[in-house]
Chains A and B, each alone.
Chain A
Amino acid sequence: MWSAIYHDGIYATGQKARVSVDGDALAILAENGSPLSRWALKETRLLAGSAANDAIRLRHGLVAEDRLTIADLSILELLEAKCPNLRRTAPDWRTTLRSSALWVLAAAASLVLLVKVVVPVMAEQFAAIVPQELERRIGEQLANQIVTTFSHMERQSEGSQLCQNKAAQAALDGLAARLTEEIVPALHLNIRVVNLKVINALALPGGQILVFRGLLEFAENGDELAGVLAHELGHVILRHPLEVAIKGASVSILASLIVGDITGGAAIAGVAAAFLTAAYGQEAEHGADALAVSLLNGAGFDSRNVADLFERFGRKAREKEGVLSRLSSHPLSRERAQNMRAMAQTGQTAFDANAWQAIRAMCR
């Protein structure tokens, strides 16, 4: 028999009581012996989260509001032995699962709808109306982010070194201008060669194109490089990069809401990651391929070598599975190579021997 204070959950005044274990229940009696309550032992729980031993404080299940306070700490030993749920603070996980299952599904459905349907549609609409100046600034920021990320991955401490050579740069800019002047006159372009060994080229919003040194070394001749350049120009003209940027931003904002971290940094990183890992999607790649070949044809260049580089790269990627981000945004199916070959025409070479030499030597 222990003396206690019993709060009945109806009045704020506590009353003196006596407590004893009676069968599978805790019998709570008033001082005069009249019963106040009976608590099933499996429903008797300890006040959670407090290590203070000023008293034993008990609650009655998870819903009922009556409480017991027992000054004599020695009752704890008995309770530990008799009450199986003494330290449990929640119903078992099955109850949690059952009560939240419906909302988990609803939230998941809402998310899937958003990411798969609404975000792509929205991105396309937005991409068409974003002012050019804004697009240019977005591209600038992304370019920096991506170059930094790659530099870290290659353990280059000092950001990136841009490869600069007047003749080579002029050759690249000149080729891009000749390729695009028919379809989009005065297209704003900013082609930069970055001294990193990753085999890749990227088109970013605002006409930013990054070509990495690895690609210059991987290309066997100028026409192959011109093919990659034309492919990236295809993305720029079709405004794919901006769509990807908007999609990436939306998805990472959603993600940060779910994970509970709302910081701008996460959003920018998310967009950069979208460019590094994700693809534009098969449809966009086919579009860029077709446009690339027709740009080359339209300007009178030889487009027969374009498929070669993509095919060689695809082989290399398959050989070394798990290799990160080497043109992984340009997965090459046999179909794509065939399509490109089917459209290919003969023509002049893209770079003369001097220009090609200069380009290859750009990063040395």
Chain B
Amino acid sequence: MSTFGTIEHPLEPDTRFGEISFVGRRLVLLSLAFKNTVLMIFTFGFYRFWAKTWVRRYFWNNIRITGDSVEYVGQARELFIGFLIAIAILFPFATVYELFSALFLGASDWAQAAWSLVYVLAIFSLIQVAIYRAFRYRLTRTTWRGLRFGLDGSVISYVLLAFGWSLLTVFTLGIAFPWMRVALMRYRINKARYGSTKFEFDGSGRALIGVWLINYVILIAAAVSFGTFPPLGFLFVAAAIFVFIYYRVREFRYFVGATTIAGVTFESFAETPRVIWICVLTGIVLLVGMAAIFLIIGAVAGITSISSVTQAAGDLSSLDAGFESDPGLWTVAVISVVLTLVLGFRVTVAVLLQYPLMVHVCSTLAISDPTRLDQVVRSTEVLPSFGEGLAEAFDVG
């Protein structure tokens, strides 16, 4: 195979494209999404740690960089234990908070306001902590050519940084948003390592402000026209969605371009029209699928209600008969509808959204001079033992 050839001849000239690719098969992801969803439903969600791990194995382990596979080495058990720790520690905290709130409910207005501010701050910080810890967990569970990635830096610095920039973004009515994104990404990338070699990020929010302002103006137009002429508002909202996708693609390309490691540079040529097409297609399939399911439900419900009426007419003496048999039937019906909807949704998103996005992102990613990575040596940093507990609780994973 040609991808393998690049390993045997590591000093090939710089070809830029084709060095990074995604070799996963769509059908494998389809069956994985199907199996995960079914198991998740029947285990009341407890399978999700294993499901997540298998999905990551699929996406990580099918990325080839200069012919070598990226590998996800995390264990589902680590995610599960992280979640248990979050329950064991976070819940009692939440309760103590609730009990304190009860005392404040009778207090004066400003005391209540102060207390709710504490609440908002606590949740905000916990979410940031969760994001940073989840990022660290994922990096330390990713290897390439037998070396792990890693993340230094402190969670507290990250929370403070996120807090400061969020405040600034609020005070500038959202204008500072790209600067916030860049500042947070800068911190994360600058603290990231491959082996013991640091990544570097060199970027500024200025590069993104133009795109952001277009988005900003359209959002304002949408808000204004909803007050005056709603149909126009919907039009603007639709436009805002597309422009936001455009912003995110531009942002992604900018972040990739601003990242270097050991003199190796990256460049993304991801295309907005392609990404928009993938999103639109997924949206259409989901809508049509949902409509079809509800039509079928409507038809079935119509038939059964007619039959129950005729049944009841023939059996007027026992008023209770219908009711007694109903709850079971009703439950089965509800469960099967929910199952179909959830299954359809998750499989569609995996196969029509995640898969083509991954393929597109990888195939448009260029890397220069990857041979410079040959000098990298492993790091001696200690790994975090458990994963993402808080991220689980706040659903930021």
Contact = CB atoms under 8 A, between A and B. Distances in A.
A324 B324 CA distance: 8
B155 interface: no
A137 to B, nearest CB: 16
Given A50-B23, A90-B75, A107-B88, A153 B4 contact: no
Interface residues of A, number: 68
B45 A8 contact: no
B341 interface: no
A26 B120 CA distance: 57
Interface stretch (B56-64, B176-184, B246-254): B56-64
B8 interface: yes
B145 A14 contact: yes
A103 B88 contact: yes
Contacts of A66: 146
Which one of B72, B75, B85, B319 has the greatest number of beta carbons of chain A within 10 Å?
B75
Contacts of A91: 77
A38 interface: no
Nearest to B105: A129
B308 A155 contact: yes
B192 to A, nearest CB: 16
A152 B330 contact: yes
Interface residues of B, number: 73
Nearest to B57: A49
Given A5-B8, A197-B323, A50 B98 contact: no
A222 B129 CA distance: 62
Contact of B61 (A8, A50, A62, A111): A50
A7 B146 contact: yes
A353 interface: no
Contacts of A7: 68, 145-147
A99 B58 contact: no
B328 to A, nearest CB: 10
Interface string B4-19: 1001101000000000
Contacts of A110: 87-89, 91-92
B327 to A, nearest CB: 5
B44 A259 contact: yes
B323 A118 contact: no
Given A57-B69, A126-B105, A157-B305, A106 B88 contact: yes
Interface stretch (B167-175, B281-289, B346-354, B372-380): B372-380
A89 B326 contact: no
A18 interface: no
Contacts of B57: 48-50, 89
Nearest to B144: A12
A69 interface: yes
A67 B249 CA distance: 35
Interface in A144-193: 152-155, 157
A100 B68 contact: no
Nearest to A6: B146
A51 B25 contact: yes
Contacts of A113: 92
B21 to A, nearest CB: 10
B147 A65 contact: yes
7 contacts: A11-B378, A12-B376, A49-B54, A52-B24, A55-B67, A57-B71, A153-B327
Given A69-B68, A130-B105, 12 more contacts: A11-B376, A11-B377, A12-B146, A13-B145, A14-B68, A49-B57, A54-B4, A65-B378, A89-B57, A129-B102, A154-B323, A250-B98
Interface of B: 1, 3-4, 7-8, 10, 23-25, 28, 44-46, 48, 54, 56-58, 60-62, 64, 67-69, 71-73, 75-77, 80-81, 84-85, 87-89, 91-92, 95, 98-99, 102, 105-106, 143-148, 194-195, 305, 308, 319-320, 322-324, 326-327, 330, 373-378, 392-393, 395
Q: Which 8 A-B pairs have the closest CB atoms?
A: A49-B57, A7-B146, A103-B84, A259-B45, A52-B23, A106-B88, A107-B87, A12-B376
Interface of A: 5, 7-14, 16, 47-52, 54-55, 57, 59, 62, 65-67, 69, 71, 89-91, 95-96, 99-100, 103-104, 106-107, 109-111, 113-114, 118-119, 121-122, 125-126, 129-130, 152-155, 157, 197-198, 250, 254, 257-262, 320, 323-324
